[in-house]
Amino acid sequence: MLKEFELKEFNSYIDIRNGILHLEDVSLKELARELGTPLYVYSASFIRDKVRAYREAFEDALICYAVKANFNPEVIKVALSEGAGADIVSGGELYAALKAGVPADRIVYAGVGKTVKELEYAIDKEILMFNVESKMELEVLDQIAGSLGKKARVAVRVNPDVNPKTHPYISTGMKKSKFGVDIDTAFEEYIYASRLPNLEVVGIHCHIGSQLLDISPYREAVEKVVNLYHRLRKEGIEIRYLDIGGGLGIKYRPEDREPTPHQLAELLLPVLEGVEAKLILEPGRSITGNAGILITQVQFLKDKGIKHFIIVDAGMNDLVRPAIYDAFHYVLPVESKGREHIIADVVGPICETGDFLAKDRRIENLDRGDFLAVLSAGAYGFAMSSHYNVRPRAAEVLVDRGSYRVIREREDYDYILGP
Ligand X SMILES: *Cc1c(COP(=O)(O)O)cnc(C)c1O
The active-site residue, picked from 255, 274, 305, 351, is 351
CB of 205 to ligand X, least distance (A): 8
Contact letters for ligand X, residues 98-127 (x by CB under 6 A): ------------x-----------------
Residue 26 in contact with residue 47, Cβ under 8 Å? no
- CA distance linking residue 30 with residue 110, whole number of Å: 40
Binding to ligand X in span 206-225, by CB under 6 A: 207, 210
Q: Which stretch binds ligand X (CB under 6 A): 77-85, 228-236, 243-251, 333-341?
A: 243-251
Catalytic-residue membership of 64:
no
User: 332 has which bridge partners?
Assistant: 373
73/284 with CB nearer ligand X: 284
Binding to ligand X in span 56-85, by CB under 6 A: 66, 68-69
CB of 76 to ligand X, least distance (A): 14
- The secondary structure of residue 291, as a DSSP letter, is G
285/361 with CB nearer ligand X: 285
66/334 with CB nearer ligand X: 66
Helix, strand or coil, per DSSP, at residue 67: helix
Please, which residues have CB within 8 angstroms of residue 69's CB and are 6 or more apart in sequence? 284, 285, 287, 288, 289, 378, 379, 380, 383
Please, which residues have CB within 8 angstroms of residue 44's CB and are 6 or more apart in sequence? 24, 78, 291, 398, 399, 400, 401
CB of 391 to ligand X, least distance (A): 25
Helix, strand or coil, per DSSP, at residue 184: helix
Please, which residues have CB within 8 angstroms of residue 121's CB and are 6 or more apart in sequence? 91, 94
CB of 157 to ligand X, least distance (A): 7
Q: Which stretch binds ligand X (CB under 6 A): 16-24, 117-125, 142-150, 241-249?
A: 241-249
43/166 with CB nearer ligand X: 166
Q: Is 283 in the site for ligand X (CB under 6 A)?
A: yes
Among 48, 106, 251, 285, contact with ligand X (rule: CB under 6 A): 285
Residue 350 in contact with residue 315, Cβ under 8 Å? yes
Cβ atoms within 10 Å of 58's Cβ, excluding its own:
21
Q: Is 246 in the site for ligand X (CB under 6 A)?
A: yes
206/312 with CB nearer ligand X: 206
Q: How many CA atoms lie within 13 A of 133 on its CB side?
A: 16
Residues that bind ligand X (CB under 6 A): 66, 68-69, 87, 89, 110, 207, 210, 245-248, 282-286, 379
Residues annotated as catalytic (active site), given as ranges: 351
